Amino acid sequence: MSPFEEFQRYKTHPSIRPFLEGGKRISYGARAITAGGLQSLPRLVFPGGGLIGDNAGFLNASRIKGSHAAIKSGMLAAEAALDALSVGRSGDELTAYPDSFRSSWLYEELHRARNFKPWMSKGLYTGTAMVGIDQIVFGGKAPWTLHHDHADNETLKKKTEVRPIAYPKPDGIVTFDRLSSVFISNTNHSEDQPVHLTLKDPGVPVNVNLALYDAPEQRYCPAGVYEIVTESSGPRLQINAQNCVHCKTCDIKDPMQNIVWVAPEGGGGPNYPNM
């Protein structure tokens, strides 16, 4: 399944298409949101720094809201840093930050929504019913806490278990191809900078991903960064890093966790003029 192609197909639905026809495509972007909730939060501090906002995963997925959480976590981290600097501490861990988070309204909010994603992973109907019970009947204070059964990269099915999906060609009116969409994202990377999409093992994309999963990099990437190129010596993975819109899906979804996204040199990436 290709998420990009699925969205293009969604736009052709009779209930959706009338809202889009006659419009103009003005920009393009893609993001992967950290929606695991309270159970997926990493360690918030490390020597000399801390994680705030969406970098940590402070998203209330049930409300699809995170800006207020980013602001609050930034305030908590700043207060902890100020207290540390005022007594001459620098370079060590801001232990006061995670402590203040656990006693804040942000923790309470995320705790009330903690079961949303685990319930919704059970399926639309079961998930909707149980989220209703969790949030309406118990008000987010149910006497249980569900946990995630697996990581995102563990959910891919092998190519022998599925059938390829034949997606319709884009019409250039309502539906579009990936590369022309990436073009209007104004993505820009210096040509001489090191490739920011790295592989732990160069052999994995062909020997494992292509062999077992038919190279899912070609489908889960919304920017066409990854493609399998067949040469006289055999297939190889080509990384078009200049197309990257920095959604980090590859870092998250790669089945062998072989792809590592690193911050691009010079802060390159998409430029959204309409935001």
Q: What is the pLDDT of residues 75-94, one digit of tens each?
A: 999 999 999 989 888 778 89
The rounded mean pLDDT for the chain is: 92
CB atoms within 10 A of CB 17: 14
The 10s digit of each residue's pLDDT in 203-218 is 999 999 999 999 999 9
State the pLDDT confidence band at 265, using cuts at 50, 70 and 90. Answer: confident
CB atoms within 10 A of CB 158: 11
pTM of the model: 0.80
Strands 45-46 and 234-239: unpaired
CB atoms within 10 A of CB 262: 11
Q: Which domains does the chain have, with CATH numbers?
A: 38-153 (3.50.50.60), 162-267 (3.30.70.20)
- DSSP secondary structure letter of residue 104: S
The pLDDT, as a whole number, for residue 267 is 74
Cβ-Cβ contacts under 8 Å for 274 (sequence gap 6 or more): 26, 27
